[in-house]
Amino acid sequence: MGFLQIHGLGRVHYHEYGSGNRPMLAFHGYGMTGKQFHVLQNSILTKYHVYGFDHFFHGESALEDWTEEHILAGMPRSLVKYYLEEWFKAFGTQRVSLMAYSIGAKLALILLEEYPEWIDEIILMAPDGLSVYKGFDFLTNKSIGKYFFRKATKSNWMAPALLRNLRRLRIIDGNLYNIAYNEIDTEKKRLDVYYTLNLIRLLQPDTNKIIKLIDQHPVKCTIIFGKHDKLFPRSAARPFTDQLTEAEIHEVPLGHWLVVPALDEYLLDLSE
């Protein structure tokens, strides 16, 4: 493990693991750390040496000289490219692969967009960023949504009540309810959610550009969806995936909570 010092952001912590020789930069989902992909020990980790980055407000990564006003304004997407540039300074300029789950996919996709000539492969799991998720967009970009989001962050009852209503209306399932509830049961956790979603709100990849880049370079692309995922389902990403000519698209019998031993077994079976 170690740190990258990224100018304009802060200290980005990363975990190293995997018995393979091929370098892979990995970006986890909300509420996890860069160690999240440890579970893929029999498939991914036998082929790659993973550098798993902690998101800000997760693990040991820390913003430096960022006020709340700056956080709520959002991280400029131009800063994402420095993840790879600083990694190159530390480990040498070389071709790498990318892996990401959920909200981490936004960073991986932007890196692919910025440096396609250095990317061998990208593996996305239940990815955010292939379409605009209306719930997050409402909470971080619409005036009434931003007002409500801040109120709910400060309230002990409002956010849990909202989740219960979403489950009752079947907008989210029990699995997603449990995941979300565990992230809002204290004021600090609610504040971390609030800051995280606002920090990344500007990080929307240019999917039309990415489609062309994947075909031109070419970049091996694998995208895995959970069949029961109500947060980032395959259906929402079809305008993107239907235009990819060589990508491997998989739908596994899981929900949004996708990075589990069952996925490791699935990926291992694919490689045999």
CA dist., res. 164 & res. 161, Å (int): 5
Burial class (CB in 10 A: 0-12, 13-18, 19+), 150: middle
User: How many C-beta neighbours within 10 Å does residue 131 have?
Assistant: 17
CA dist., res. 21 & res. 231, Å (int): 34
In the chain, the largest separation of any two C-alpha atoms, in whole Å, equals 52
pLDDT in tens, 72-92: 999 999 999 999 999 999 999
Please report the pLDDT score of residue 117 as a whole number: 95
φ and ψ at 97, to 5 degrees? -115, 160
One pLDDT digit (tens) per residue for the chain, 272 residues = 899 999 999 999 999 999 999 999 999 999 899 999 999 999 999 999 999 999 999 999 999 999 999 999 999 999 999 999 999 999 999 999 999 999 999 999 999 999 999 999 999 999 999 998 777 888 888 898 888 888 888 777 777 777 677 677 665 667 666 766 776 778 888 889 899 999 999 999 999 999 999 988 889 999 999 999 988 999 999 999 999 988 999 999 998 889 999 999 999 987 76
Show Cβ contacts of residue 232 under 8 Å, excluding neighbours closer than 6 positions. 102, 126, 127, 128, 130, 133, 225, 256
Show Cβ contacts of residue 204 under 8 Å, excluding neighbours closer than 6 positions. 77, 106, 129, 132
Q: Which DSSP symbol is given to 54?
A: P
pLDDT in tens, 135-186: 788 888 889 888 888 888 877 777 777 767 767 766 566 766 676 677 677 8
Query: Three-state DSSP class for 217?
Result: coil
Please report the pLDDT score of residue 144 as a whole number: 86
Report residue 8 as tokens. 């304009």
Q: Which DSSP symbol is given to 126?
A: S
Please report the pLDDT score of residue 224 as a whole number: 97
Domain residue ranges of the chain, discontinuous segments joined by +? 2-132+204-271, 134-197
Please report the pLDDT score of residue 42 as a whole number: 95
Q: Which CATH superfamily is domain 2-132+204-271 in?
A: Alpha/Beta hydrolase fold, catalytic domain (3.40.50.1820)
Query: Three-state DSSP class for 170?
Result: coil
Please report the pLDDT score of residue 141 as a whole number: 86
pTM for the whole structure: 0.92
